[in-house]
């Protein structure tokens, strides 16, 4: 008499759960959801051996293979999307691909469906640039904390500090950066199809590029709100002194310098980026804004250095002219993507035996 066979779907499910458990920080608490209404796991963040209460849920999908190099398509019921969007905790959608032994992720908030009840199911494209094997779990933890803070309006008042002042900035001393990371960075830089959000995501997942030395943490897209405006810088770089600088990124392919050798200027795109960062800087000249930002994010910003990452060395025909243009702005620095690769390669050499 034939015996029951274990189906491929059961094998895929088991492999996907095992993969997640092998990649999530071992101290974090993973709880399986036994009654599946669109969620398969709940993961609680643990810091310094203390449970925090901060948690996120996971919708886990699995497939044997995929035909695209850029994304993994999955389908979600509109009722499932509606259910997940009503939950307090952030939802992470993860799809495991057996043939690649890799899983890819996408936050529910990043799914651009405005009327998700118009159809019974929707196709979601999970980008392959979002690899679970390469994700920064510090980024995951910080994002979850921010979501809880936004939804619960968490802000524990703390005594403000009068230790406002400048500090030297050195981004050349980096933590470990692998040859594979450098290879992936160069692919992004050299591709004519790279989007800004792809570079942002790479820096979020490989924050060691801009960390080490003076900087200890990278904070992505923290909103600045005042009575008159709402701003969204790309990154705040937190110094070991407790203060932050601001990093704005533009594409590698933009031109940096215009004009002749004797009459040169920044291009319109670079000038706009500089103006943008100066607006961010001016936001923190207001004491009320500084105090609000500190209560909200537990970060201190005062007269930050503003850094723009953009363009290539080939766009800088005149290095001395570029240095001259930088001096026209307060605490401003322009880095090219070739600078970024050089920093990463220099750091790699330091760690080789």
The H or E element that residue 60 is part of is strand 50-63
Residue 242, pLDDT > 70, answer yes
pLDDT over 50 at 309, yes or no: yes
Topology given in CATH for the domain delimited by 8-137:
Trna Endonuclease; Chain: A, domain 1 (3.40.1350)
Q: Is the pLDDT of residue 6 over 50?
A: yes
Q: Give the pLDDT of residue 347.
A: 64
Chain position carrying tokens 């974090």: 28
How would residue 94 be classed by pLDDT, with cut points 50, 70 and 90?
A: very high
Q: In which region does residue 303 sit, left (phi positive, over 0), alpha (psi from -120 to 50) or beta (all else)? A: left
Q: Among residues 267, 74, 257, 245, which one has the least CA distance to residue 170?
A: 245
Q: Which residue is listed with tokens 């290095």?
A: 319
Q: 234 with 247: CB under 8 angstroms?
A: yes
| Portion of the chain with pLDDT greater than 70, in percent | 76
Query: Cα-flanking dihedrals φ and ψ of residue 195, to 5°?
Result: -100, 160
Per-domain residue ranges for the chain? 8-137, 157-351
Which tens digit of pLDDT belongs to each residue from 134-185?
A: 888 888 888 888 777 765 554 433 333 333 333 333 344 444 567 777 877 8
Q: 157-351 adopts what CATH topology? A: Restriction Endonuclease (3.40.91)
Cβ burial 41-67 (10 Å sphere, 16+ → b, else e): bebbbbeeeeebebbbbbbbbbbeebe
Which residues touch 144 (CB under 8 Å, ≥6 apart)?
45, 54, 55, 56, 89, 90
Residue-wise pLDDT tens digits, 258-296: 776 667 777 888 888 888 888 998 999 999 999 999 988
Is pLDDT larger for residue 61 or for residue 170?
A: 61
Q: What is the pTM of this model?
A: 0.50
The pLDDT mean for the chain works out to 78
Confidence of residue 60 (pLDDT cuts 50, 70, 90): very high
**Of 54-68, 113-127, 139-153, 323-337, which one has max mean pLDDT?**
54-68
Alpha helices in the chain (DSSP H): 8-23, 78-85, 137-152, 179-190, 196-205, 268-283, 287-297, 319-326, 337-351
Do the domains 8-137 and 157-351 sit in the same CATH topology, yes or no?
A: no
Which two tokens mark 76? Answer: 């979600």
Residue 33 three-state SS: coil
pLDDT grade for 351, boundaries at 50, 70 and 90: very low
| Residue 315 or 293, more confident | 293
Which of the pair, 267 or 347, is modelled with greater confidence? 267
pLDDT band at 120; cut points 50, 70, 90:
confident
Using alpha carbons, select from 43, 42, 26, 45 the residue that is nearest to residue 34: 42
If pLDDT is split at 50, 70 and 90, which confidence band does 117 have?
A: low
pLDDT tens digits for 177-216?
677 778 778 888 888 877 787 787 777 766 666 665 677 7
pLDDT for the residue 160: 34
Cα–Cα distances (Å) from 92 to 65, 68, 268, 288, 343, in that order, read 21, 21, 38, 35, 32
Q: Scan for tokens 């609000």, then name that residue.
A: 292
């Amino acid at each position: 008499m034939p015996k029951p066979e274990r189906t491929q779907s059961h094998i895929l499910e088991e492999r996907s759960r095992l993969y997640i458990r092998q990649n999530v920080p071992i101290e974090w608490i993973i709880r399986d959801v036994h009654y599946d209404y669109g969620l398969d796991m709940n993961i609680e963040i643990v810091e310094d051996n203390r449970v925090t209460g901060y948690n996120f849920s996971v919708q886990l999908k699995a497939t044997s293979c995929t035909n695209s190099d850029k994304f993994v398509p999955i389908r979600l019921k509109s009722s499932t999307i509606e259910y997940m969007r009503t939950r307090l905790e952030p939802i992470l959608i993860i799809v495991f691909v057996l043939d690649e032994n890799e899983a890819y992720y996408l936050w529910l908030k990043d799914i651009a469906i405005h009327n998700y009840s118009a159809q019974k199911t929707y196709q979601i494209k999970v980008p392959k640039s979002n690899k679970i094997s390469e994700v920064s779990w510090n980024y995951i933890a910080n994002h979850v904390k921010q979501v809880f803070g936004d939804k619960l309006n968490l802000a524990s008042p703390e005594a403000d500090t009068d230790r406002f002042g400048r500090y030297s900035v050195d981004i050349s001393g980096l933590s470990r950066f692998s040859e594979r990371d450098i290879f992936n960075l160069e692919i992004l830089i050299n591709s004519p199809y790279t989007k800004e959000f792809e570079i942002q995501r790479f820096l979020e997942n490989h924050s060691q590029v801009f960390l080490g030395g003076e900087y200890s943490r990278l904070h992505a897209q923290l909103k600045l709100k005042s009575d008159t405006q709402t701003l969204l810088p790309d990154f705040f770089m937190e110094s070991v002194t407790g203060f932050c600088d601001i990093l704005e990124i533009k594409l590698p392919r933009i031109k940096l310098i215009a004009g002749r050798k004797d009459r040169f200027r920044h291009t319109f795109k670079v000038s706009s980026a500089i103006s943008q960062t100066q607006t961010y800087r001016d936001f923190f000249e207001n004491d009320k804004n500084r105090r609000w930002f500190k209560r909200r994010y537990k970060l201190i910003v005062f007269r930050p250095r503003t850094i723009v990452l953009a363009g290539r060395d080939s766009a800088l025909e005149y290095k001395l002219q570029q240095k001259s243009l930088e001096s026209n702005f307060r605490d401003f620095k322009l880095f090219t993507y070739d600078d970024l690769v050089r920093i990463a390669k220099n750091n790699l050499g330091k760690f080789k035996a």
